[in-house]
Structure 1
Amino acid sequence: MTTTAGTPRPDLDVRPITETEFADWNRALNIGFLREPTSSPEVLDARRPEFRPGRSLGAFDGGRCVATFRSFAQELTAVGGAAVPADAISNVTVSPTHRRRGLLTRMMAQDLAAAKERGDVVATLIAAEYPIYGRYGFGPATWATEWTVDVPRTGLDPRRSHPEDGGRVDLVDAEDVRKLGPELHERLRRIQPGAVSRTDLWWKIATGAVRFRPTWHEPFFAVYRSADGEVEGMVSYTTDDEWGDSKQPLNTARVHWLLAAGPAAERALWRYLCSIDWIVKVRSGWRAPDDLLPLLLPDPRAAAVTTHADWLWVRVLDVVRALEARTYGAAGSLVLEVADGAGLAGGRYRLEASADGTGTCAATTEDADLSLDVAELASLWLGDESAVRLAALGRVREGRAGAAREADALLRTSRRPWCPDIF
């Protein structure tokens, strides 16, 4: 059926897709992301494990899918290490013929209502475009930075690239990564606010056991083992094959992901990457904005910021459980007036934080110390944003003088939250 862009259609149907509609849904997904529309049977078979009944939504016009939306179960690490159940949102598209007709709003409302009913504490997503998701109550909760390291300028001695703590770096195969990676990642995400859970399918995709693209370029995998043989770090990277006119190497190592359970593993893996013969640049991949990488180099200026942008967006669905799940940097109390246009998490709440870092939260009728939208609460919840900054922007309002400064003392963290994943 042919449709005309911009023409309102009251008969558009938004609903969960069936398994038999998956290929049509996947075609709409490809169109929305400007990919070749038709996927091969092999790619469709690879993607089918992501299908969950009731969690993949589509908008249909005369039987043709014109918008897509998928969510799945996830755990998100709060400040202090507790994991909260999250509604992870992905694969959001609207075909160019059907924009500005409220399809995303309808799909989002349906999914968030179901997440609230399930008991999810938050919803999460990685935003392709910044302006879209604030109107649905999401706020940027973590940011990410990518560095490009000019290897000859670092000051590192390539002759001394081995770990100095008795550990070692070894190249491993994809099968080893699937065996060793999940346990290492679990250790990391228990201590990293903003980290999310990974499924077995994630590891299969990352190692080529499942392939969403018709072409697959196998990366290199390296692990760092401590002096006692424990796997403390792991990295996936690819390299190019670029040479100058004078037969000088101009090759770049591009990090897909790097996991480290501590600074020793970080130091060892970055030094390893900067010591590979013929590599003159290292692209770090997406890291936390306060990553140690630049300061691990004798000359930190050798690591230039390539990109810095918002990363994980969070939408609070249950204020009480979200605030009680995390820990706090000081004792204190705040009354928060939370506005939520969708009616999912609004209200007035008293947060009481104890000296041991634990917190309790309950609804109250007391006067508010701070008033803010649920999107601003999401930006504050993982400890990255400052209530004082948001107050200066007019996005947080003080009902009591000094309340924003007190909120920062309670909520902000010494290291910035970070989400190592895209989904």
Structure 2
Amino acid sequence: MTTELRTLSPAEWDGWYGTLERAFGGLAESAEERALWRDLAEFDRSLGVWDGEACVGTAGACSFRMSVPGGALVPAAGVTMVSVAATHRRRGVLTRMMRRQLDDVRERGEALAVLTASEPAIYGRFGYGVGAFETRAEIDTARVHLAVPDGTDGVRLRYAPLDDETVRQTCEEIYARAVPGRPGMLARQPGWERVPLLDPEMDRGGASALQCVLAEDADGTVLGFVRFRVQPQWGPAGAEGVVVLEDLEVADPRVPRSPGASKDAQAYAALLRFLFGIDLTSALRVRSRPVDDAWQHLVSDVRRCAPRQRDWLHVRLVDVGAALEARTYRTPVDVVFEVQDAFCPWNEGRWRLVGDAKGAVCSRTADPAEVALSVRELGAAYLGGVPLVSLAAAGRVRELREGALAEATVAFGSDVAPWLPHGF
């Protein structure tokens, strides 16, 4: 049977999106969520495969700017809404869409493509590597206590209505200040600020509507915010409610600007302590946080927090030279990589990377290779959260010059773990 791959037209949206919903279990999304994704869709970057009049494959891309080590915001294609109808599996539908999509990303001059995967085993063959992880937790707040830094009591907290435009703008400004400090974060384009506020009742799982609390200093300057839900539950002994953390952001809690804890660190601790102390609750559910998030060092018993890590952001270098030049490096590096990339053969071959904390140059070279790897491993290491030496221990990276792997591993590292705040 002959299928046709083409760009989606606005008139075809409903059928196209219905194909996507069916691939993810067949449950219809709320009208609110469906309308949001239509508003954010870039139709010229949305692909469909049709068998006659039936849509049997979907794939989209969003035009993002993503933070990389060094703080630069680099254009990146956010791959999303990928599905293949169960009736058309193993016919090359996904491969055709990935081929068309990556060719388009290259033509647009985007050096990176990123995605979150419903099934992580799918995308490695197209050159994506897991470049950022997330931590989830179920914290027993009845038994776990917090040791907060000095000055935390000076932070003032207040509830803030999420339908207030000033509150929304304030939260976005705090988020925007945090973006350059953590690789993997997205500079939200207009309209994307609605995503973390999406709150259809059918998706709350019995929890409350989204709530917001702001943290302020003595002068009334907003230092951070938390968005959360409360899920009331009752047991034989009384209340067993659960607080569900959706968002907690301060500008930068890591760097004290004076002796003692920074204001940002105090605000972070104050917001976390607030979540621990909400009446009629005994647990805090942490859905997605960076693997180096500070709460793990404030709790009295991390075992009773049940932290668990899972893959989150998958990274693909579409233009190896441009991507490696876009970030900076923790220590000076001068290494020749032998790159394998069967799916995007323009990346194949040797690349010499010379860089440091101020910048980098990466260009083709005929010099002998010193580290050999595929583009998938480069994607995994790119944001600084996956050490090249760990990939080498798994047999996925080869050192061809003694010392080159250690040099590259240290240089590629990031002071903070990469993290994606929300899906797309």
TM-score of the aligned structures, taking structure 2 as reference length: 0.90
1:172 aligns with 2:144: no
Please give the residue correspondences for 1:17-416 in structure 2 after superposition, counting only pairs within 5 Å.
Answer: 17-36=8-27, 44-156=34-146, 164=152, 166-176=154-164, 177-208=167-198, 218-246=209-237, 248-261=238-251, 262=253, 263-305=265-307, 307-342=308-343, 343-354=345-356, 356-416=357-417
8 A Cα contact 2:74 2:326, kept in partner = yes
Cα separation, 2, equivalents of 1:380 and 1:44: 34
| Counterpart AA for 1:30 | E
371-380 vs 407-416, greater mean Cα deviation: 407-416
Contact 1:253 1:279 in 2 (8 A): yes
Corresponding position of 1:6: none
Q: Percent identity?
A: 34
Alpha-carbon distance between aligned partners in 2 of 1:27 and 1:245, rounded to the nearest angstrom: 44
Displacement after TM superposition at 1:105 (Å): 0.7
Q: Residue 256 of structure 2 corresponds to which residue in structure 1?
A: none
Deviation at 1:96, TM superposition (A): 1.0
- 1:192·1:418 contact (CA, 8 Å) conserved in 2? yes
Post-superposition shift, 1:399?
1.1
Measure, in 1, the Cα distance between the counterparts of 2:240 and 2:150: 23
Query: Counterparts of 1:225 and 1:126 in 2: how far apart (Å)?
Result: 34
Displacement, 1:296? 1.1
What CA RMSD, in Å, does the superposition of the two structures yield over aligned residues?
2.2
Partners of 1:220 and 1:43 lie apart in 2 by: 18
Could you give the per-residue CA deviations for residues 277-296 of structure 1, whole angstroms, max 9, x where no partner exists?
11100011211111111211
Task: Tell me, in whole angstroms, the C-alpha distance in 2 between the residues paired with 1:380 and 1:26.
Answer: 34
Of 339-348 and 295-304, the range deviating more from structure 2? 295-304
**What SS class does the counterpart of residue 142 from structure 1 fall into?**
strand
Against the structure 1 CA distance between its residues 375 and 161, is the aligned structure 2 distance closer, same or farther, given a 3 Å change threshold? closer
Distance 1:212 1:32, change over 3 A: farther
Distance 1:351 1:384 in 2: 19
SS of structure 2 residue aligned to 1:394: coil
Spell out, residue by residue over 1:3-47, the C-alpha distance to the aligned partner (whole angstroms, 9 max, x if none). Answer: xxxxxx2x111111111111110110110111335x687765444
Matched residue count: 406
Work out whether residues 133 and 290 of structure 2, in 8 Å CA contact, stay in contact via their aligned partners in 1: yes
The 3 A distance-change label for structure 1 pair 321 and 370 is same
Rounded Cα–Cα distance in structure 1 between residues aligned with 2:183 and 2:323: 13
Q: Distance in 1 between matches of 2:128 and 2:194?
A: 30
What is the CA–CA distance in structure 2 between the aligned matches of 1:47 and 1:28, rounded to whole Å? 14
The one-letter code of the counterpart of 1:149 is: I
Where does the alignment leave 5 or more consecutive residues of structure 2 unmatched? 254-264
Tell me: CA distance 1:191–1:62, structure 2 relative to 1, closer, same or farther (3 Å): same
Aligned equivalents of 1:289, 1:215: Cα separation in 2: 26
1:223-255 CA distances to partner (integer Å, 9 max, x unpaired)?
212333332222211111111123x21010011
Letter in 1 for 2:291: P
Stretches of structure 1 lacking an aligned partner (at least 5 in a row): 1-8
Question: Once superposed, which parts of structure 1, at least 4 consecutive aligned residues long, lie more than 3 Å away?
Answer: 39-47, 160-163, 211-217, 298-302
